[in-house]
Amino acid sequence: MYRGTLIRSGGNAKTIKGDKAGEYETAIMYLAPAAQSGMGNVCPMAATAGCEMGCLSKAGRAAIFNSIVNARIAKTRRYFSNRAAFMAELVKDIEAFVRYCERKGVKPAVRLNGTSDIQWEVAHPCVRYIKPKHPQQEREAHYASIFHAFPEVQFYDYTKVYKRAYRSLPANYSLTLSYSEANFAYRDAVVKTAVETGANIAVVYRNKATRNNVMPSGDAFGNIETGFRLYREVIDGDETDMRFSDPRGVIVGLYAKGPAKRDTSGFVVG
């Protein structure tokens, strides 16, 4: 397991399943979700999508230990108070994780939005120091994003900011859209985006029966009267968290966990 100041591996049940295959090891960064830090909102679509009640930050160990919540709040406050310093800290952390993976003989995968939905591909430049064999030749290289700085790392995230799927994202960054029926306008926009871009959609189902029988619906073609149902293959998204390895054009079926099991907002389907 890797334990950095911002990212960590080995603490997520789904990533552990994927890591057991031996090809990748996944590190995740967990921030204080939505506006929990008191300094800003790292989940801009949370209220619209109705996912705050069923947020994964309230599941697992974070639901039990205040120290975990406090640590996430502290990290998030560092992000808002000095973004440049935060990005420098993130660069050092990922560099250490890459070295860790090299020693283990596995490929590094990183999910930056474990409990956030930050648009890392825009307005998040960073600096990485190039260290050749001779220390006197060390220089700093400026990059438009953390993805450009680390082409050797596979990054991926879930997102409710559906406009991101229309962007030309770096080749090493994979995004999966997150579905919700809590807001019909949001639901329709996500389905429309999936149809137009071919992006995958993650759907949180209440149980297996629901997963096998319910498909996301929406007004993807502007026809309110007939509506639209997105018929796609549903894969088991709880088998592994390596969304970058999923086939294109599928629904990633997830099961409700923690408080999400009691959700009635529409975020959980079924």
pLDDT digits (tens, 9 = 90+) for 101-155: 999 999 999 999 999 999 999 999 999 988 766 666 667 899 999 999 999 999 9
Give the residue numbers spanning the domain of 176.
7-269
pLDDT at 64: 46
Q: Which of 110, 116, 57, 65 shows the shortest CA–CA distance to 257?
A: 57
Residue 109 lies in a domain: yes
pLDDT at 221: 47
**104 Cβ contact list (under 8 Å, min separation 6):** 25
From CA 260, how far away is CA 56, in angstroms rounded?
8
- Count of domains for the chain: 1
Q: Strand 251-255 and strand 139-143: pairing?
A: unpaired
Residue 184 lies in a domain: yes
Q: Where are the alpha helices (DSSP H) in 162-224?
A: 184-197, 208-213
Cβ 9 vs Cβ 2: under 8 Å: yes
Residue 168 lies in a domain: yes
Residues of the chain with pLDDT under 70: 18-20, 52-65, 132-138, 212-230
Cβ 108 vs Cβ 25: under 8 Å: yes
Model-level pTM? 0.88
pLDDT at 222: 44
Residue 52 lies in a domain: yes
Residue 170 lies in a domain: yes
